[in-house]
Amino acid sequence: MTAIPDLNLTHSRELWERARQVLPGGVNASARYNAALGHAMFFERGEGAYLYDVDGNRYIDFLTSHGASLLGHGHPAVAAAVQEVLSRGVMAAYETQLQVEVAERVLKLFPGAEMMRYTCSGTETTWHALRIARAYTGKLGVVKFEGHYHGVNDTVGFSHWPKLAEAGAADSPVPVPDSAGIPPYASDLLTILPFNDVTALERTLRAEQDTLAAVIMEPVNYDSCAIRATPEFLQAVRALTSELGIVLIFDEILSGFRVCAGGAVSASGIYPDMTCLGKAFGGGLPLSAILGKRAIMEMCTPVGPALQSGTYNAPPILVAGANAFLREVTKPDFYPTLDALGQRLYNGMREIFARRGVKAWVQGVGARFGLLFGLDSEPRNYRDIAGQDWELARRFHLGCLKRGVYLMYKSPHHGYSIAHSLADIEETLDVMDSAAAELVQ
Ligand SMILES: Cc1ncc(COP(=O)(O)O)c(C=O)c1O
């Protein structure tokens, strides 16, 4: 365990010791183990842009629930919407008018999407989306990109951040399972490609067109520190999948609503056949959804043959959260306000690292960013970020933490919310300046 002078984490450590006896690793999700500290932190409450830990420390939050809290913690509109459903008796597994209304509103924001199904976690969402795409095409193969993350399911649980020694050549990577316990044969149906490589994409899609059901991708690869798809790559993936009868799935679980009220690359005019939503979509509550063209979505039971059901599909409490969320993000000043915060934060960070002589690249796209120590140019795919300087990152993160700025060490992405104020960003930049100064001492 790393003790940080000037930061009292006594109760966090005590709780973690207790938690370890009943929760593997003392956590409920492995991403919550803080590898920089050597234990998990325990929080008492969240309020807007702030987190309060069990030792009474306040932090400006730049994890924002791995992207789920785009409205900040405890947004009053979400809380009121949930209260209203609570007063009607929760009703976990029934159809209500609310689910229809919210679906209508969501579909208006995603051009080309005509129908949707609600789901809960992102992991189940990509897995169901791929099943539906397989049912639609009658084919089983899936292309995913190295460095992209689509949850922990066995269908696509490969090659998120593989060790380079195991990952094969840069232009034809081999699938590397993200976990023990994934059946090796799962990779027989998976082709891993480098992101933003039009040549490798075209070569593979043409060669495997008879077996490929779907290409799944993050249109902004936040799970490798916010790498953008190049315009040429976006155009190529859309044109080739259309030509070859392959379903194009944008996994917007993280990128959706991050840049605008809709898909992250919707300004390009390139739209997928299916979209996966999650995280921010529920206003901080665990709600996801699969969107797609009518002919594809009607593969779902009870209309078509792809079994899609679940006790916790669309509980009104969660859908109410999404309803409140959609109202907030469609207000005219929402994205201009969010963008202004990002501009100040990203430019301020760049200025600090340049002035302090710290080699770090700030890759900001909408309300989330990658912070890449050891890089000095824009990354194009996973191989470009694989060699980042984790020791420098660890020291920077601890330097921020003890001064009241919460960044999660080794998270591929960080982000802010609409509840952050410009004053919070200025305070953060002051903290980052001190943490950067400490790095070069
Ligand atoms: C792009 C993307 N897809 C899928 C998932 C999985 O979502 P969940 O953690 O809700 O299972 C994540 C989570 O980080 C994600 O970033």
**Prediction pTM value:** 0.98
Q: Exposure of 421 by Cβ count < 10 A (0-12 exposed, 13-18 middle, 19+ buried)?
A: middle
- Cα 80 to Cα 101: distance, rounded to the nearest angstrom: 18
- 217 and 246 Cβ atoms separated by less than 8 Å: no
Most ligand 1 atoms within 8 A of CB, residue of 121, 144, 145, 150 to mutate: 150
248 Cα–ligand 1 center, Å:
18
Of all protein residues, the one whose alpha carbon is nearest to atom 13 of ligand 1 is 151
Residue 250 has a CB neighbour count (10 Å cut-off) of 31
| 3-state secondary structure labels for all residues of the chain | CCCCCCCCCHHHHHHHHHHHHHCHHHCCCHHHEECCCCEECCEEEEEECEEEECCCCEEEECCCHHHCCCCCECCHHHHHHHHHHHCCCCCCCCCCHHHHHHHHHHHHHCCCCCEEEEECCHHHHHHHHHHHHHHHHCCCEEEEECCCCCCCCCCCCECCCCCHHHCEECCEECCCECCCCCCHHHHHHEEEECCCCHHHHHHHHHHHCCCEEEEEECCEEHHHCCEECCHHHHHHHHHHHHHHCCEEEEECCCCCCCCCCCCCCHHHCCCCCEEEECHHHHCCCCCEEEEECHHHHCCECCCCCECCCCCCCCCHHHHHHHHHHHHHHCCCCHHHHHHHHHHHHHHHHHHHHHHHCCCEEEEEECCEEEEEECCCCCCCCHHHHCCCCHHHHHHHHHHHHCCCEECCCCCCCEECCCCCCHHHHHHHHHHHHHHHHHHCC
Prior bond of 302 cis (ω within 30°): yes
251 Cα–ligand 1 center, Å:
9
129 Cα–ligand 1 center, Å:
13
Of all protein residues, the one whose alpha carbon is nearest to atom 8 of ligand 1 is 122
pLDDT at 5: 76
- 51 and 58 Cβ atoms separated by less than 8 Å: yes
pLDDT at 392: 97
- pLDDT one-digit tens code per residue, 134-180: 999 999 999 999 999 999 999 999 999 999 999 999 999 999 999 99
pLDDT at 1: 78
Most ligand 1 atoms within 8 A of CB, residue of 223, 318, 368 to mutate: 223
Following CA atoms 371, 374, 376, 379 in sequence, which dihedral angle do they give, to the nearest 10 degrees? -60
In the numeric block, which tokens belong to residue 272? 């997928």
Domains and CATH numbers, the chain: 10-74+333-439 (3.90.1150.10), 76-329 (3.40.640.10)
Most ligand 1 atoms within 8 A of CB, residue of 160, 253, 410 to mutate: 253
- Cα 181 to Cα 185: distance, rounded to the nearest angstrom: 11
Pocket of ligand 1, beta carbon within 6 A: 66, 121-123, 126, 149-151, 218, 223, 251, 253-254, 278
149 is catalytic: yes
What number does the ligand 1 atom closest to the CA of 286 have? Answer: 10
210 Cα–ligand 1 center, Å:
29
What number does the ligand 1 atom closest to the CA of 66 have? Answer: 14
- 107 and 114 Cβ atoms separated by less than 8 Å: yes
What number does the ligand 1 atom closest to the CA of 121 have? Answer: 10
Handedness of CA 378, 384, 389, 395 (dihedral sign): positive
pLDDT at 193: 98
What number does the ligand 1 atom closest to the CA of 255 have? Answer: 1
In the numeric block, which tokens belong to residue 184? 């090796």
Among 279, 335, 402, 406, the active-site one is 279
C-alpha Rg value of the chain to the nearest Å: 21
pLDDT-flagged residues of the chain (< 70) = none
Nearest residue to 314 (alpha-carbon basis) of 88, 75, 101: 101
Nearest residue to 37 (alpha-carbon basis) of 355, 312, 401: 401
pLDDT at 53: 98
Among 53, 61, 197, 251, the active-site one is 251
82 Cα–ligand 1 center, Å:
23
Q: Exposure of 350 by Cβ count < 10 A (0-12 exposed, 13-18 middle, 19+ buried)?
A: middle
